[in-house]
Chain A
Amino acid sequence: MADPSLLQDSVARPDPAVRFTDATARLGGRDIWSHVDLAIDAGTFVAVLGPNGSGKSTLINAILGLLPLAEGKVEVLGRPPGESGGDIGYLPQRRSFDPSMRVRGIDVVRLGADGDKWGVPLPWGAARRARDARVEEVVDLVGAGAYAGRPIGEVSGGEQQRLLIAQALVRRPRLLLLDEPLDSLDLPNQGAVAALIAAISQQFGITVVIVAHDVNPIASALDGVVYVARGRAVSGPPEGVITSETLSDLYGTPIEVLITSDGRQVVVGQPDATSHHAGHHGPHDHGPHAGHDHTTKEC
């Protein structure tokens, strides 16, 4: 898995990592999205975009098998959802840890390795040593060595996110599902964590599915995009999906995609004003781009 040459194989493989076929998700009697057909190729880095409440996390829950589909089916790594266990690494939307939570970051990473097993591990033995070595390896990989020994509630949001990525990686998953990993991080941390995720997807050939509000921090590394809105989903390469035509068709209302001079994409006119735009997190996005503010409606 760690061999970069595997990337070539997995790209060439015809079986996608995730395939939705005519899938409908229903929550409380309401269709979240319906008749979704999409495939996420193995080894690719794919973003799930869309406004708040459009069902992005529902898509992840369907892949995990936490939410059974009302209609249609989803295949995950060639199996029904919920049967791939350790082959899937998952980072839920959150939620930061309670500052008073007296559990170390490294304990949280370890739970990713064997937290679902019954009984108590013997403090000696090869399995335990292998686990500890692997935990150390992923903690180093995400650069969390300096604070993994501190209570997780006391480290910063970006540091928590790195530890949680380590937790999701510890079992060498083939599929990594990250639900809003960049949410609630400040701009420098967004960039750093996005770069880490992109590096992981490139280095290990893992299929990475990332739910995001803002495509820009990850845009350069993406292989594909799934755009969820108004009960539907479209997928394809980023340059094919994030276009005025595709999004206007998806929303059923005129949408304009602007490319700023520094290459950032700004979606203008989508109904949910707060969810998806070039970013309002730093000084960089104000000033020159203020005229393309997301609240602008195309009338």
Chain B
Amino acid sequence: MTTHAVNATTLAGPTLNLIDDVRRMLALHFMVNAFRAGAVAAVLGAVIGWFMVLRRQSFVGHTLAVVSFPGAAAAIWLGVSATVGYFAGSIAAALVIALVPRTPVGRAGGQESAVIGTVQAFALAAGALFVSLYGGFLDSVTGLLFGSFLGVSDGQVVALVVVAAVVLVTMVAMARPLFFATVDGDVAAARGVPERALSVAFLVVLGCTAAEVSQITGALLVFALLVMPAAAAQQLTARPVLGLCLSVALGLVVVWSALGVAFYSTWPVGFFVSTFGFAAYLAAAGFRLTAGHQARTVRKGRTSQVGGVATA
């Protein structure tokens, strides 16, 4: 985490005075909205992403995000709010994918991934069509695909918050059975956990999240907030609650520092979000390698304590 703070400081524009720079940014309303929207997307992406990574559904997540691109492009072409388009595209795709019989978690889903790949290719093509029908400006395409933080309106922030609240409440309700079905599907099914319904519900939740995150990172770079913080957190800890908290913290640090740096840079915000997310993942993986090595050497003396502490 400190790495990002350092990055942010060193790259953060002309004055190199962190407090001054932040103050200058926050004086601008669109930057305040960008930070708000970024925070909402980061929290949502971190929580849902944690489950997505555990369920090995990253490919689905990516597709749902890509599909938000034709959704948003079509919305712009039709003169509707892009936000509506993002959600319509992702949720529709989630329902289509939900119709495909789900292969058990952890096994390579041949049929599922083929269908998902097909949906993804078609979605990108449809997006290109809508952009050209609209008479596309290159700028807007870049924004849809690689993210932009300019011009997030108050209304959009409210929409993001409302969707995030609904998604998170749903997630709180179904987190435990979903975790059970993900980790141990056979036993969960024997206990009467409605695996199929949970799977569909999670796809819709994932669609909403992908649409939400897309609006900050662009359709192609959602993984920066959906996968990287969650994957980094799972490298750092196998504890579910701690992992979720770490994931959220990493997501917030990544998105805020990226916005801050992007403000003083001409490069797209999606680049910074992805780069910082990648750095966080590398750091976490490195930490795990080191910690794992240490743990193996001292395991004999320490493991009985781990069991005791874990139940406390």
Which residue numbers of A lie inside 8 Å of B, CB to CB?
64, 66, 82, 85-86, 88, 90-92, 94-95, 98, 101-104, 106-108, 111-112, 114-121, 132-133, 135-136, 139, 144-151, 167-168
Contacts of B177 in A (CB 8 A): 115-118
For the side of the interface on B, what is the size category?
Answer: 35 or more
Complex: A151 Cα to B186 Cα, angstroms: 19
Interface residue from A112, A120, A144 paired with B175 (Cβ < 8 Å): A120
Write the nearest CB–CB distance from A262 to chain B, whole angstroms: 35
Question: Would A85 and B191 be within 8 Å (CB), given that A103-B240, A108-B183, A139-B311 are in contact?
Answer: yes
CB–CB B310/A149 < 8 A: yes
* A104, B238: Cβ atoms closer than 8 Å: yes
A–B complex contacts, Cβ < 8 Å, 26 sampled = A66-B189, A82-B192, A90-B190, A91-B187, A92-B190, A102-B54, A102-B235, A102-B243, A103-B54, A107-B238, A108-B184, A111-B176, A111-B180, A111-B184, A111-B187, A112-B187, A115-B176, A115-B177, A115-B179, A116-B192, A117-B176, A132-B311, A132-B312, A145-B307, A148-B311, A150-B303
Binding site for A on B (CB under 8 A): 54, 106, 172-177, 179-180, 183-184, 186-193, 234-235, 237-240, 243, 303-304, 306-312
Verify A115–B188 contact, CB threshold 8 A: yes
Is the Cβ of A149 less than 8 Å from the Cβ of B303?
yes
A144 nearest CB across to chain B (Å): 8
**Given A82, A120, A135, A147, which contacts B176 in the complex, CB threshold below 8 Å?**
A120
Query: Contacts A85-B191, A102-B235, A119-B173 given; 20 further ones with Cβ under 8 A?
Result: A82-B192, A90-B190, A95-B186, A98-B106, A103-B238, A103-B240, A107-B183, A111-B176, A111-B183, A111-B187, A111-B188, A116-B191, A117-B177, A121-B176, A132-B312, A135-B311, A139-B307, A139-B311, A146-B303, A147-B307
Q: Is the CB of B187 within 8 A of A167?
A: yes
For B184, list chain A residues within 8 Å (CB).
108, 111, 115, 167
- Which residue on B lies nearest to A114, using beta carbons? B176
Given A115-B177, A115-B193, are A90 and B187 also a contact pair (CB < 8 Å)?
yes
A64 to B190, CA, bound (A): 6
Residues of A within 8 A of B172 (CB): 119-120
The CA of A82 and the CA of B189, in the complex, are separated in Å by 11
CA distance A108 to B180 in the complex (A): 8
Nearest A residue (CB) for B304? A146
Top 6 A-B residue pairs of the complex, sorted by shortest distance between their CB atoms: A115-B180, A149-B306, A92-B186, A145-B307, A149-B310, A136-B311
- Residues on A with C-beta less than 8 A from B310 are 104, 106, 148-149
**Cα distance A145–B308 in the bound complex, in angstroms:** 7
Tell me which residues across on chain B come within 8 A of A94, comparing CB atoms. Answer: 186
Bound Cα distance from A95 to B105, whole angstroms: 12
Q: Does B307 lie within 8 Å of A148, measured CB to CB?
A: yes
Give the Cβ gap from A118 to chain B, nearest Cβ, in Å. Answer: 6
Q: How far is the CA of A108 from the CA of B184 in the complex (A)?
A: 8
Cα–Cα distance between A136 and B234 once the two chains are bound (Å):
24
CB distance from B144 to the nearest CB of A (A): 33
Name the A residues within 8 Å of B173 (CB-CB). Answer: 118-119
- Collect the chain B residues with CB atoms within 8 Å of residue A118's CB: 173-174, 176-177
Q: Inside 8 A of A103's CB, which chain B residues have their CB? A: 54, 183, 238, 240
Q: Which single residue of chain A is at the shortest CB-CB distance from B295?
A: A150
State whether A116 and B307 are in contact (beta carbons under 8 Å apart), knowing that A107-B240, A111-B179 are contacts in the complex. no
CB-nearest residue of chain B relative to A107?
B240
**What's the nearest-Cβ distance from chain B to residue A53, in Å?**
19
Query: Which A residue's beta carbon lies closest to that of B305?
Result: A149
**A64, B189: Cα distance in complex, Å:** 10
Name the CB-closest residue of B to A121.
B176
C-alpha gap A216/B186 in the complex (Å): 27
Least CB distance from A182 to B in Å reads 17
Which among A82, A91, A92, A106 is the interface contact of B307 at CB below 8 angstroms?
A106
B188 contacts A116, CB within 8 Å?
A: yes
CB pair A147–B180 under 8 Å, yes or no, is no
Given the complex of chains A and B, what is the CA–CA distance between A100 and B187 in angstroms?
Answer: 20
Cα A94 to Cα B183 with chains together (Å): 13
A98 closest partner in B (C-beta) = B106
Find the B residue at minimum CB distance from A133.
Answer: B311
